[in-house]
Amino acid sequence: MKRGPRIFLILVAFGAVALLGALSFPRDREPVYQGKNLSEWLGAYDLVYGDVSDQGAGTDAVRHLGTNALPCLVRWIVYEPTALGDRFRVVMWKIPIGPIRRLLLEGNGLSFAAVRGFRILGSNAAPAVPELARLISDPSRNVRRWRAMIALSGIGREGFPPLLAVLTNRAGGEFRAAECILELFRRGVDISPAVPTMLLLDREYRKSNVVNNVADPVYFVAVLAENPSFLIPALTNCLSHSNGDVRLEAVSTLAQSGAEARSAVPPLVHTFDDPEVRVREAATNAVRRIAPEVLEGIEQRQIHVEKSETNPSP
């Protein structure tokens, strides 16, 4: 058989398999608003082609549907593309018949639409948090896991605990979880419990970049530094953390904050008694940088005490 017909038969066979898979994609009865169903309002198919029209109207419609949209959104977001599907994705895009191409790509389009739907609903999508938390706890499904993390970051404060669990468990996916937690931070959510692990992630990132000679060795804390009124107290709390690496990173970051970290000077002084030498030395250097007069006063008092002990009064 010549190469051309063989390739054609392979493509036909693949198309048949993909079509069967698309037909078997789970479909729920979608809620309808003003004559259009949920997927139409979310632009599920337009998202695949990179063109979403009437976004404002779609946003209003999804908000009107509210929690009635959640069963579909949860169902759609579990879509995970297969390795075979990824391999032939370019071929699928070239299928000239629009409805067939749209059907073959439906699962991918609906999963993107689901992410958008969660972000539109925000805190109103909180009832879906347990299911999304289950999805992000499964590291064997990377694509759906990532989309579920984005959805949780769109929900808001209620989405923080499961993202924090991924971050602190350090069993994979923590960098992506941290990025989603930063999105929550930008939206005003208190992410203080995430700061210790973010310090360690930046530490790993910095070491990796030093080895690879890459600039910009920090990322997460650099974003948090946009809000010193949050970062300084969060770092101060880290000074009493049980992990010495966290304490060291907190001290070093406070030192880099300069005068903005003056409120942290008293806790830093207490850190002079830290059980680890490296932390004590870093704390001394931090106070020297933030408030040198405080360190000079401590040193002068120490000198006076030593003189008094050496030459006691008669």
CA-closest candidate to residue 135, choices 179, 80, 201? 80
Give the global pTM. Answer: 0.76
87 vs 255: CA distance, rounded Å: 50
151 vs 169: CA distance, rounded Å: 20
28 vs 164: CA distance, rounded Å: 31
If the chain, 314 residues long, is cut into consecutive pieces of 10 residues, what is the mean pLDDT of each piece? Answer: 52 48 56 89 56 65 93 90 52 47 60 90 96 91 89 95 93 89 94 95 78 54 91 96 96 92 94 95 93 76 53 56
Q: What is the pLDDT of residue 228?
A: 92
CA-closest candidate to residue 221, choices 191, 244, 263? 191
Is domain 225-314 in CATH 2.40.37.10, yes or no?
no
158 vs 248: CA distance, rounded Å: 31
CA-closest candidate to residue 196, choices 256, 157, 136, 237? 237
Q: What is the pLDDT of residue 6?
A: 56
Q: What is the pLDDT of residue 15?
A: 52
What does the block give as tokens for 2? 């010549």
What one-letter code names the amino acid at 226? E
Give me the residue spans of the domains in the chain: 1-155, 225-314
Q: What is the pLDDT of residue 170?
A: 81
